[in-house]
């Protein structure tokens, strides 16, 4: 099929590339000429394992191209994906400015295209949008004289760091349509990715839009829940790792997203939780559980700082801290809403010196903090001369370090582990003072 993807951000670029890999003719559109030039030259603007190789391969083979010419790309396509950003507004709502602008531009481009049978031309909203947005897109197309174009909703469920695998081997594909003919076109499009009998779930656009928010809200709830239980474990002397095992083997609960840490971040959970709270507010339905999830997460981002202040008796001025991990999670360079930034701000404000390392996100952090931080190429360089190590992101390269070497590099054998990646007894036997999350060591 001939496909146009509007937006070359995280969702758009992964979607377009994976659809090209399955044999489709894909044109990705962006209004940023510099980004388009970079993509056409073989570079990519984000880090995602496996993505650069697929982009280069499909671009070389002619199935994947990049342009700033939206109208030309849309007129040539049977399927048009809208995959532009929907950032959080000051009130917590999803900002749909880009969605509406693109919808109007698509309408202008398709106004004079002759109508065909149902499903012959489809505009699909891939962006995460509030319930009712798809209907708004259809209204804008109609107002532009392109009411003959079908619209659909197709939310993404991609995890940063595993997006290629998530697209190629999805748990499920959800589509929201108003005509069965449209569903059949989308089933044909996604059939190469559903050969292992993964479900293709058809519903209304409104239910599809809600499914995305409900799924992310549920995952965010599990994270906030286990973090709150971890904090209680610290107070009562229990070990959250044991508690997590006792819970997770209950098949009704499971282990996914039951890992305590310094709070969730990224482009999805914080924004989507705020957006679903805003949807409740607009319908006069206070979503008290979601409000609590958001509050717990904000508080959780302070926990590492609390443990550090406790150990140093509220005096970290002049102390040097090594920070391992800046991205909000491993296998990405994304620092949006990253817990590490909250900790960095707090320690800098208290007069501490920071030596930081991340395998991929350093450049993005440098763009914010400049020379306020010391940027280190490797983890051992970061701990050299530091008074303590703070682990914020659980990159695999941090899992099995040379602890004896680290003891020589640190001024004191002190670790604050925000991801519980080490064994408390092992650390004690090695002579480290070791603070983790919910492992029974009081630090408040």
Q: Are 144 and 108 in contact (CB under 8 A)?
A: yes
Residues 14 and 104 in one domain: yes
Q: Are residues 276 and 401 in the same domain?
A: yes
Q: Determine whether 18 is an active site residue.
A: no
Boundary-marking domain end, from 201, 218, 234:
201
Q: Quick one: 8 and 27 in the same domain?
A: yes
- Identify whether the C-beta of residue 154 lies closer than 8 Å to the C-beta of residue 208: yes
159 is in an annotated binding site: yes
Which residues, 6+ apart, have CB-to-CB distance to 272 below 8 Å? Answer: 128, 212, 213, 216, 217, 220
Considering the domain architecture, whether residues 24 and 168 belong to the same structural domain is answered as yes
Q: Sheet of 388-391: strands edge to edge?
A: 374-375, 353-357, 320-324, 388-391, 414-417, 433-435
8 and 146 together in one domain:
yes
Question: Annotation-wise, does 329 bind a ligand?
Answer: yes
> Considering the entire predicted model, what is its pTM?
0.92
Catalytic residue among 18, 28, 233, 268: 268
Residues 271 and 225 placed together within one structural domain of the fold: yes
Side by side, the strands of the sheet bearing 173-176 are 64-67, 25-29, 2-6, 79-82, 122-125, 150-153, 173-176, 200-203
Among residues 201, 221, 248, which one ends one of the domains?
A: 201
pLDDT tens across 25-71, in order?
A: 999 999 999 999 999 998 999 999 999 999 999 999 999 999 999 99
150 & 242 share domain: no
Residues 277 and 169 both lie in one domain: no
Q: How far is CA 175 from CA 12, 38, 130, in A?
A: 17, 32, 15
Q: Domain residues for 186?
A: 2-201
- Tell me if 259 is assigned to a ligand binding site: yes
Both 194 and 252 in one domain: the answer is no
Does one domain contain both 404 and 352?
Answer: yes
> Is 35 annotated in some ligand binding site?
yes
| 381 known ligand binder | no
**241 and 339, same domain (yes or no):** yes
User: What's the CATH code of the domain at 59?
Assistant: 3.40.50.720
Query: What local confidence, expressed as pLDDT, does residue 90 receive?
Result: 85
Q: What is the pLDDT at residue 196? A: 87
- Domains in the chain, number: 2
Among 201, 219, 242, give the residue marking a domain's end. Answer: 201
Q: Is 44 helix (H, G, I), strand (E, B) or coil?
A: coil
What tokens does 37 get? 């030039």
Q: Phi/psi of residue 396, each to 5°?
A: -60, -30
**pLDDT tens, residue by residue, 365-422:** 999 999 999 999 999 999 999 999 999 999 999 999 999 999 999 999 999 999 999 9
Residues 89 and 144 in one domain: yes
Query: By the 8 A CB rule, do 70 and 109 touch?
Result: yes
Which pLDDT belongs to residue 98?
Answer: 97
Q: What digits encode the pLDDT tens for the residues 220-243?
A: 999 999 999 999 999 999 999 999
């Amino acid at each position: 099929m001939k496909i146009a993807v509007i937006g070359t951000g995280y969702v758009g670029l992964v979607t377009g590339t994976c659809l090209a890999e399955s044999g489709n003719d894909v044109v990705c559109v962006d209004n940023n000429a510099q980004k388009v030039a970079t993509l056409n030259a073989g570079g990519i603007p984000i880090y995602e394992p496996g993505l650069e190789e697929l982009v280069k391969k499909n671009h070389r083979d002619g199935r994947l191209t990049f342009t700033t010419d939206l109208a030309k790309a849309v007129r040539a396509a049977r399927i048009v994906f809208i995959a532009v950003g929907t950032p959080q507004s000051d009130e917590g709502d999803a900002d749909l400015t880009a969605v509406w602008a693109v919808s109007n531009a698509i309408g202008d481009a398709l106004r004079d295209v002759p109508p065909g049978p149902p499903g012959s031309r489809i505009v699909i909203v891939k962006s995460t949008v509030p319930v009712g947005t798809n209907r708004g897109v259809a209204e804008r197309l109609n107002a532009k004289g392109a009411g003959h174009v079908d619209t659909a909703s197709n939310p993404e469920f991609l995890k940063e760091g595993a997006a290629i695998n998530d697209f190629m081997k999805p748990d499920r594909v959800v589509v929201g349509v108003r005509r069965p003919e449209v569903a059949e076109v989308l089933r044909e499009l996604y059939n190469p990715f559903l050969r292992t009998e993964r479900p293709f779930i058809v519903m209304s656009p409104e239910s599809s839009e809600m499914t995305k928010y409900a799924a992310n809200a549920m995952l965010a709830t599990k994270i906030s829940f286990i973090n709150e239980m971890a904090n209680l474990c610290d107070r009562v002397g229990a070990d959250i790792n044991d508690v997590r095992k006792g819970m997770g083997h209950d098949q009704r609960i499971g282990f996914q997203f039951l890992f305590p840490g310094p709070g969730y971040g990224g482009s999805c959970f914080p924004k989507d939780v705020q957006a679903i709270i805003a949807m409740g507010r607009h319908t006069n339905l206070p979503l008290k559980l979601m409000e609590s999830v958001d509050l717990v997460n904000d508080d959780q981002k302070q926990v590492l700082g609390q443990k550090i202040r406790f150990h140093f008796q509220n005096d970290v001025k002049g102390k040097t801290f090594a920070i391992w991990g800046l991205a909000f999670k491993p296998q990405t360079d994304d620092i949006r809403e990253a817990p590490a930034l909250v900790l960095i701000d707090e320690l800098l404000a208290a007069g501490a010196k920071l030596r930081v390392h991340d395998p991929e996100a350093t450049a993005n952090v440098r763009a914010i903090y400049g020379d306020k931080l010391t940027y280190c190429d490797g983890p051992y360089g970061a701990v050299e001369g530091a008074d303590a190590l703070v682990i914020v992101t659980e990159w695999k390269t941090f899992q099995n370090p040379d602890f004896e070497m680290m003891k020589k590099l640190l001024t004191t054998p002190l670790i604050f582990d925000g991801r519980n990646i080490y064994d408390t007894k092992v650390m004690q036997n090695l002579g480290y003072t070791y603070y983790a999350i919910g492992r029974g060591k009081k630090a408040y």
